Amino acid sequence: MSGAILIAGVDEVGRGPLAGPVVTAAVILDLAHPIMGLADSKKLNPTQRERLAMAIRDKALAWALGRAEVAEIDRLNILQASLLAMQRAVAALSVTPDKVLVDGNRCPKWTYPCEAIVKGDVTVPAISAASILAKVARDAELRELHDHYPQYGFARHKGYPTAEHLDALRRYGPCPEHGRSFAPVAAVRQIVIAPRLCLCRSCTYACTPNIPWSMG
């Protein structure tokens, strides 16, 4: 790789969902070890993404992940949080790139020469690789989140505002991993289950039927 220009591709996953972090990846491909089949992660099935993610981690000259948490998304807004996560991914690379190519129409504020490319995840192999790593990492995290909050169905929709997800939000209210700044979450009135002691003298114990009430 001596004398070659080191180009890092950067992409994010998680700007559309209502829950979970935004995850980014930065990848510098090794031209001496090409990876066949790179494409926009959205056009690949889970098995293809997992296979390619293993190849990327094995063959890339350098790769790294970045992220912005739900609290940062709420504080900064989703765009600025995504740009922050991109900065973190590139900063975590073990090799300093000469130039960074970012999927989309805006570059983060950093010192690297940078170019934003609309649909770069389709046309630029390094960005495609980044989209795959970010997608695989975030999907795995949302499957783990599903184990903690199975009522929302995170393993199926990965936090995106599907009909199933929106219905669960209305039924259960938001969990701590939902972004409060997103309109569908902010619009939900959280249902709280309030216990009421039974005053029936025939009861030998205090029964506590669940009486739902809403918090404004």
Q: Where are the domains of the chain?
A: 7-157, 163-214
Residue 141, token pair as written in the block: 């995290």
Kind and range of the H or E run holding 140: helix 125-148
- What is the model's pLDDT at position 209? 39
One-letter identity of residue 173: G
195 pLDDT higher than 80: no
Rounded Cα gap, residues 23 and 138, in angstroms: 6
Share of the chain above pLDDT 70, in %: 86
In the CATH hierarchy, which fold is given to the domain comprising 7-157?
Nucleotidyltransferase; domain 5 (3.30.420)
Q: How would you classify residue 173: left for phi > 0, otherwise alpha for psi between -120 and 50, otherwise beta?
A: left
Residue 37 has pLDDT above 90, yes or no: yes
User: By three-state DSSP, how is residue 24 classified?
Assistant: strand
pTM, 2 dp? 0.85
User: What is the band of 196 on the pLDDT scale with cuts at 50, 70, 90?
Assistant: very low
User: What mean pLDDT is predicted for residues 162-184?
Assistant: 95
Do residues 87 and 111 make contact, with C-beta atoms less than 8 angstroms apart? Answer: no
Q: What is the mean pLDDT of residues 128-156?
A: 97
Question: Could you report how far apart the first and last alpha carbons of the chain are, in Å?
Answer: 60
Sheet-wide strand order for 114-117: 62-68, 22-28, 7-13, 99-103, 114-117
pLDDT over 60 at 42, yes or no: yes
pLDDT grade for 91, boundaries at 50, 70 and 90: very high
The 8 Å CB, 24+ separation contacts for 167-174 are 169/18, 174/19
Residue 192 clears pLDDT 90, i.e. is over it: no
What per-residue confidence (pLDDT) applies to 197? 44
Mean pLDDT, residues 7-33: 97
Distance, CA of 15 to CA of 33 (rounded, Å): 31
The residue among 51 and 3 whose pLDDT is bigger is 51
User: Average per-residue pLDDT in the chain?
Assistant: 89
pLDDT for position 2: 57
Which residues partner with 213 through β-bridges?
192
Region 53-80: mean pLDDT is: 98
pLDDT of residue 142: 98
| Predicted pLDDT at 4 | 81
Q: How many CB atoms neighbour CB 110 within 10 A? A: 13
